[in-house]
A and B are shown apart, each in its own frame.
Chain A
Amino acid sequence: MWLRIFESLHGHLGVLAAASLFHPAVLLRKGQQLSRGSKLAVILATLFAVSAFGGGVFIYEDYRQLVKRNLFRASTQAGFFFETKEHLAYGVVALALGAAVCALLAPKEARHLRKASAAAYFTAAVLATGVCLLGTYVAAIQGFPEGK
């Protein structure tokens, strides 16, 4: 039961991260200085992405043992999509972390750096959306068995 709960939490956090990562991209697109609320939005969006990734790492070992073989048996394509999802997810986290540090540290006059941060957040958001779509498809094919 706990594994299915964590699997569901991981999926929901992923969708939340994908949606929230677009917000800093919009806030920073003109390079304007961040208000307190905007800084909170930047931090939260990055935290959601890191939490979703961390949740995936947390259940990864159990997923490997209990689900992966059955996933490939049910659909080879879905099995490869899981791998693709894994690779893209690392990119999302790296981009989000880099963009967050840049957005929060860039000095007042450094509009160009905040624009670069917006571009990085946009890239992270688009990749995160892809990760969510792949994750939803994979979960629909095979998830943790009942009772786990």
Chain B
Amino acid sequence: MKTSDVKRSAVAAAAIVFGLVAPVTYHSIRIYERLRNGPADAAMIISEARTTFYWRFGIATWWAGLIAVVAYRVLLNRPERLVSRSTAMIYSSIALVPLLSWLAYRYP
């Protein structure tokens, strides 16, 4: 595999890692908020500042970006792992459907 192809593959794989990690991190932050503050309450949600959503969005995006960069470095140094990791990404993507749906419903 050419060096440029290895780099492109690593970036492509890191992008998928970002896509998978970002929503999981977002929901982890939400679960932490719920566990700290108690079950969801209509009055609490109405009085929540608008910035809480933006903070969650920003923090999740930042962490996902960081993990994607780490994934890029790892895969750049070990390109032979790309195929096996891609299979794991496929299964992880499919598993995210019920997981995220349940988390979003359980912890609104």
Instruction: Report whether chain A binds chain B.
Output: yes
Residues of A within 8 A of B (CB): 60-61, 64, 68-69, 72, 76, 79-81, 83-84, 86-88, 90-91, 94-103, 105-110, 112-113, 115-117, 119-120, 122-124, 126-127, 130
| Contacting residues, chain B, for A81 (C-beta < 8 A) | 108
Q: Give a binary string over B90-108; 1 marks a CB under 8 Å from any A CB, 0 the rest.
A: 1101101100110111001
| Beta-carbon contact of A116 and B90 below 8 Å | yes
User: Distance (Å) between the CB of A77 and the closest chain B CB?
Assistant: 10
| Beta-carbon contact of B17 and A127 below 8 Å | no
Known contacts A83-B40, A90-B23, A120-B16; A60/B53 CB under 8 A? yes
Q: Which of B53, B60, B93 contacts A120, CB < 8 Å? A: B93
User: Distance (Å) between the CB of B32 and the closest chain A CB?
Assistant: 13
| Beta-carbon contact of A95 and B20 below 8 Å | yes
| Beta-carbon contact of A109 and B15 below 8 Å | no
Residues of B within 8 A of A (CB): 1, 5, 8-9, 11-13, 15-20, 22-23, 26-27, 30, 40, 42, 45-46, 50, 53, 56-57, 60-61, 64, 82-83, 86-87, 89-91, 93-94, 96-97, 100-101, 103-105, 108
Interface of B is mostly: helix
Q: Measured between alpha carbons, how far is A68 from B15 in the docked complex, in Å? A: 35
| Contacting residues, chain A, for B40 (C-beta < 8 A) | 80, 83
The residue among A83, A98, A99, A106 with the most chain B CB atoms within 10 A of its own CB is A98
Known contacts A87-B30, A90-B57, A122-B94; A98/B16 CB under 8 A? yes
Q: Which residue of B lies closest to A118 (CB)?
A: B90
Q: Measured between alpha carbons, how far is A100 from B12 in the docked complex, in Å? A: 9
